[in-house]
Amino acid sequence: MAGVLLSAVLVACQSPAGAQFHATVVQPDGSYPMPVVLGDETGLVTGIGSVRDGMTGGDLPAAVADPTEPTAVFVSWGTGACDSDTTLSFQGTGGSYSLDIAVHSRLSLGCTAQLLVRGLRIEFSQHVPADAIHVSGGR
């Protein structure tokens, strides 16, 4: 019984506030799938999905405009091969936004210390400039 209660508390601590969107992000070759939950407290997010290409290098975490869609941005952050899931929290008022990224780890003795770049495409109901989003967290 105590184990069930502890599991429920841990899941509740990892759930972001607001409307929730779910996706699984993977590496370009399809490896290292990671569940992602984005909590939207602005009401602007309409969907999220994994990005496999174009999310390498540069400063992490980061948000860049989707060159093919003015109402979408790409977000990238780092995780390790031992990490199990990520929650993101999107908040904002007055044209300024924050995207907080929390990566959760699982304990594994045989895990490598490999850095993985994760990519997520976020779609909005209106144009949200990538440079108006302050991204923090990740590895």
Reading the block at residue 38, the tokens are 């984005």
CB 61 within 8 A of CB 77: yes
CB 139 within 8 A of CB 103: yes
Strands 34-40 and 83-93 turn out to be parallel
Is the per-residue pLDDT at 24 higher than 80? yes
Rounded Cα gap, residues 66 and 42, in angstroms: 20
pTM over 0.85, yes/no? no
Q: 25-40: per-residue pLDDT in tens? A: 998 888 889 999 999 9
Q: 5 falls in which pLDDT band (50, 70, 90)?
A: very low
Q: 114-129: per-residue pLDDT in tens? A: 888 899 999 999 999 9
